Structure 1
Amino acid sequence: MHQALYRKWRPKTFDDVCGQEQVTSVLKYETEHRAFSHAYLFCGSRGTGKTTCAKILAKAVNCEHPVNGSPCGECAACRAIEDGSATDVLEMDAASNNGVDNIRDIRDEVVYAPSSLRYRVYIIDEVHMLSVSAFNALLKTLEEPPEHVVFILATTELQKLPATIISRCQRFDFRRISLDALTGRLTYIAERENIELESEAARMLAKLAQGGMRDAISLLELCAGYHCKITPQVVTDAVGMTGRDAMLRTAQAIAERDYDSLFAQVDEVVRSSKDLIVFWQDLISLWRDMLVVKATARAGAYLDLTDSEEEQLRAAAGKFTRETLLYHCKLLEDALFAMQKANAVKRIVAELTLTRMCDEAMDTSNEALLSRIAKLEDRVALGGVAAPSPVAEAAQKPAPKQAPETVTPQKPAPKAAPAQTGTEGDGKRVLKPFRAWRELIERVGQSDPMLSSFCRNAEAYTTDGGDFIVRFPSDFAKSMTEKGGGREKLRAALIATAGKDVPDSQLLLEVKGKTQASVLDEIIAAADE
């Protein structure tokens, strides 16, 4: 009989468990020193190894010859537990056995000594499903069980457990498994099972699993059913998801108001028998990623993307303002809820929402108005909208009646103060990195791509005195920035990004290695990063 891959490759020892070192290291120490607790509580999301570690621990406490804190797998106790013939290890699903009578049966059984093993182990999975009466019946037994009994409780929803239960157990939190750990495990299993798996496809499967090893291995087995080399396209077809390229094309179509492409994309999803809700969730994920890129200085730390994918994402995010992305997220979220309602026509909801995302003028909500205002502010700051001339305004106003002039003696004008050079006190400046520099470059690139290319390798800093310093890698980049009104465009983008007026005298353009900066500058910059 065929055995599912996730069962076949279930870890047998603590060393085989991936991504849960903070749990397995403690359990191995307790096994080596025979210092077991009477009750354990394993909590975490699905597929992270809770039940697996519970079974390994059940073998470890009864193993006759443990090896480095893990069960040997060869003694009679380990073999009996592995094949399910050990009557002293009881695994109960609390989702289907949640009544008080089931707990009373356990309470009556614990008084008897184990029949063949050293300890009697009770594994209660999904323990949060127990009723209130069942929890109350378990309290006293869980607090002071006999010396030969060990309880292992597992749950995915810790918040549903009574505090009295949690306080009586040794608690372990199982984290979501990292993308690299999932990818490595999938590659290892594919090699042993003679499955051809591309590295990019393995990474896609790991991302789809969302931190769960069981889901990742199940998806691998699903793709292996195609009996061909597993490529990103095979993963896309098997799972029913829309590729990232299609998501980026959708974002570009919204930015360019290309209604034909949007309706064609929805039609393609419907005709391919893919679920529109899955397509919509992928779209929400893309908008979240673009918002992270626009709002943070280190987006790569929060996104599991390759360098090329990150560049594509930055290019797509540059077509929208933060206000527009937030407005789009609100529309996408509302549409997802509407699609999940009974009798909802998903295609119509999707098409109407994408149409509204193209033009904020179709919506009168606060989010839509903020998006339109943000775009207008950018156009004014970059010179896209001509401001009214002060001379013309003065000509339209009637001249006020002039009062008779009176001659008063004037004091001599004070001598002009020497111009500030951006130094403070003893001639040393305290520089702080300007975190919105990337966003500023994107603003400049909308009106002058050439100017943004010279600024891309530059570094920007601010001082406590309000100066804004741009350090270019070469004299050539600095001189090209100052030509053709580039300095004024840079200052306009700075005003729009910083949200405050920056006089031209406080915009200082410098070349790296030719400034008066002190060592303190680099120390503070490194600390802020």
Structure 2
Amino acid sequence: MHQALYRKWRPRTFGDVCGQEHITSVLRHEVMTKTTSHAYLFCGSRGTGKTTCAKILARAVSCENPQNGDPCGECASCKAAQSQSCIDIVEMDAASNNGVDDIRSIRDEVEYLPAELKYKVYIIDEVHMLTPSAFNALLKTLEEPPPHVIFILATTELNKIPATILSRCQRFDFRRISSDVIASRLETIAAAENIQLDHEAAFMIAHLAEGGMRDAISLLELCAGEARPIDEELVEEVAGTGGRDAVIRLCEGVASRDYDAIFAEIDKIYRSSRDLTVFWQDMISFWRDMLVVKTTRGGAEYLDLTERQYNELARVAERFSTETIIYHAKLLDSTLETLRRASSSKRVIAEMTLVRMCDERFSPTNEAVLSRIAALESKIKSGALSVDKPQQAQAQSAMSQSQPTPAQSSQTQSSQSQQSQLSQSQPQSTQSAQPQPSPAEPAAPVKKEYRQLPYWADFVQKCTERDPMLGSFMRETAKGYTVNTDGYVHIRTNNQAAQAIITRMFSTLLETLNEFSDPPLTSDSVKLEYVPERRDDKQRELDELARTLDSSPET
């Protein structure tokens, strides 16, 4: 029967345990000096070696010929401990055996001497799952066990362990294993198992494992099932992630407000049936990495990245201010909770969030306002944004241009006197002649007038009830008008992204309009128009933000 790689490559000695030298050195010393404790508590995240070290310690304390604190693996005690039939090493899963009766049975068994080994060792995994009654039943036995009994408790949630249990155990905290150590171990296993593993792919697997060796080896075995060399593309397909390149493309699309690139990338992920929630976690991790780069001097020390990945991250981070990164990170985090609860609308939620990240005007939060102010300040400092002259100065300039100079005044008076002399010298017959009728002037064109739809507020409310996202865009960026020169309904918006989303939801918009319009409208009688903001609107917004900065108290 096939044995999983993580079981096949489980360490047999303390020297084989990766990334936990601060623990294995202490356990080795205790075995060599015969100063082992009666109770241990191993805590840490999954896959970091808690159960592995517990099994090695259980064999080492009973080994007849220990080698530098490690079990020899050759004596009768080691062979008996490695067999599945040894009754002196008891492994108990507290997740499924968490009642007080299970602990009472252990309390009754500890009175008996071990049958084959020197010590009887109880390994209780996921001990935080025990009930309060079970913990109380374990207290007295854990405090004063018989001299031939050792308890090893393992947990991933230390905060759920009662203080009375913690005070009776020797505690060891297992750290997350670094990606470099995991990648090196994966390459060793791949070489021994004849698996072609790329170095970049090994590092990607290690990064996805989040410090857990068992998860990394399991993912390696899953990728090896494809019967082809393992590269980054294969790891992305097997793990179901969008990939770091996809995250970078979306990040650059947000920075440049390239809505086409954003919608195309989300569409690609959606069509590949990848989980948007998993991809969103990668997005949050990338924005966190950008925040580290922007706010620290030695950012590489805090990031689990290769040199190429770090340089790429630093290049992208330069396109955002610190305030914008913080605002985006909070928005991504709040959206992650929504994606976890949503079942069928994940794509719409993701697209709406990315559009809000492109333009802070869609968000009324303080972080969004601060991000806009920071962007305006940076533009003003760099000279990319110029401020027009005040209206009073413009008016004075216009008045000065309209007043004639002295030279222009003398020329005007001279021309007027010449015209008067010519009119007096003309014959009276010419003056008495009948004037010729002037040709008929063409009729003035009818002025186009836009009138707002009288039912616009009710229409927006109805849109919000049918589709919250459509209602939000209609309320924030669009207005509806009728024109006296045609029979169309004009929906005008000042944002290209909003126009794209409204166009996609045109059928819902038309159906809602027909609830208020009489006679009913057709698709040809409704026009969607993009009208960019005028310069004076942008100037008004800039002045308002400047007043806000001036009125804010200094810190």
Tell me which interval the TM-score lies in, with the shorter structure as reference length: 0.7 to 0.9
Q: Partner residue of 1:45?
A: 45
Report if the CA contact (8 A) 1:62-1:117 is conserved: yes
Report if the CA contact (8 A) 1:88-1:115 is conserved: yes
Name the amino acid aligned to 1:225: G
Task: After TM superposition, give the deviation of residue 342 of structure 1 in Å.
Answer: 4.6
Task: After TM superposition, give the deviation of residue 385 of structure 1 in Å.
Answer: 2.9
Name the amino acid aligned to 2:130: L
Task: After TM superposition, give the deviation of residue 355 of structure 1 in Å.
Answer: 1.1
Q: Partner residue of 2:94?
A: 94
2:217 is the counterpart of 1:217: yes
Matches of 1:27 and 1:262 in 2, distance apart?
53
SS at structure 2 position matched to 1:364: coil
Matches of 1:395 and 1:67 in 2, distance apart?
95
Aligned ranges 1:39-188 → 2 under 5 Å: 39-188=39-188
Q: Which has the larger radius of gyration?
A: 2
Task: After TM superposition, give the deviation of residue 343 of structure 1 in Å.
Answer: 3.6
Unpaired runs of 5+ in structure 2? 397-548, 550-555
SS at structure 2 position matched to 1:215: helix
Name the amino acid aligned to 2:6: Y
| TM-score in terms of structure 2 length | 0.70
Task: After TM superposition, give the deviation of residue 308 of structure 1 in Å.
Answer: 2.2
Report if the CA contact (8 A) 1:104-1:137 is conserved: yes
Matches of 2:327 and 2:36 in 1, distance apart?
54
Quote the sequence identity (%).
62
Per-residue CA deviation, residues 292-332 of structure 1 (Å, 9 max, x unaligned), is 11111111111122222222111111111111111111221
Name the amino acid aligned to 2:172: F
Aligned ranges 1:9-408 → 2 under 5 Å: 9-387=9-387
Unpaired runs of 5+ in structure 1? 397-498, 500-529
Aligned ranges 1:336-485 → 2 under 5 Å: 336-387=336-387
Per-residue CA deviation, residues 331-387 of structure 1 (Å, 9 max, x unaligned), is 211211111115451011011111111111122211111110000111112222335
SS at structure 1 position matched to 2:71: coil
Matches of 2:154 and 2:275 in 1, distance apart?
33
The list of structure 1 runs, each at least 4 consecutive aligned residues, that deviate by more than 6 angstroms after superposition, is 388-396
Pair 1:27–1:290, CA change in 2 (3 A): same
Per-residue CA deviation, residues 104-149 of structure 1 (Å, 9 max, x unaligned), is 1111111111112111110000001101011111001000000010
Matches of 1:318 and 1:392 in 2, distance apart?
39
Matches of 1:312 and 1:151 in 2, distance apart?
49
SS at structure 2 position matched to 1:340: helix
Q: Partner residue of 1:449?
A: none
Matches of 2:172 and 2:52 in 1, distance apart?
14
Per-residue CA deviation, residues 238-272 of structure 1 (Å, 9 max, x unaligned), is 11111212211111111111111111111110111
Pair 1:139–1:334, CA change in 2 (3 A): same
Matches of 1:342 and 1:145 in 2, distance apart?
51
Matches of 1:364 and 1:145 in 2, distance apart?
62
Name the amino acid aligned to 1:42: F
SS at structure 2 position matched to 1:176: coil
Task: After TM superposition, give the deviation of residue 41 of structure 1 in Å.
Answer: 0.6
More helix as a share of residues: 2
Q: Partner residue of 1:7?
A: 7
**RMSD, aligned CA:** 1.8
SS at structure 1 position matched to 2:341: coil
SS at structure 2 position matched to 1:313: helix
Name the amino acid aligned to 2:208: L
Length, aligned pairs only: 397
Per-residue CA deviation, residues 67-92 of structure 1 (Å, 9 max, x unaligned), is 11100111111111112211111100
| TM-score in terms of structure 1 length | 0.73
My pick for the range that moved more, 46-55 or 172-181, is 172-181
SS at structure 1 position matched to 2:373: helix
SS at structure 1 position matched to 2:61: helix
Task: After TM superposition, give the deviation of residue 284 of structure 1 in Å.
Answer: 1.1
Name the amino acid aligned to 2:26: V
Report if the CA contact (8 A) 1:338-1:344 is conserved: no
Matches of 2:116 and 2:363 in 1, distance apart?
72
Task: After TM superposition, give the deviation of residue 394 of structure 1 in Å.
Answer: 13
Per-residue CA deviation, residues 443-479 of structure 1 (Å, 9 max, x unaligned), is xxxxxxxxxxxxxxxxxxxxxxxxxxxxxxxxxxxxx
Per-residue CA deviation, residues 401-454 of structure 1 (Å, 9 max, x unaligned), is xxxxxxxxxxxxxxxxxxxxxxxxxxxxxxxxxxxxxxxxxxxxxxxxxxxxxx
Name the amino acid aligned to 1:301: E
Matches of 2:305 and 2:30 in 1, distance apart?
39
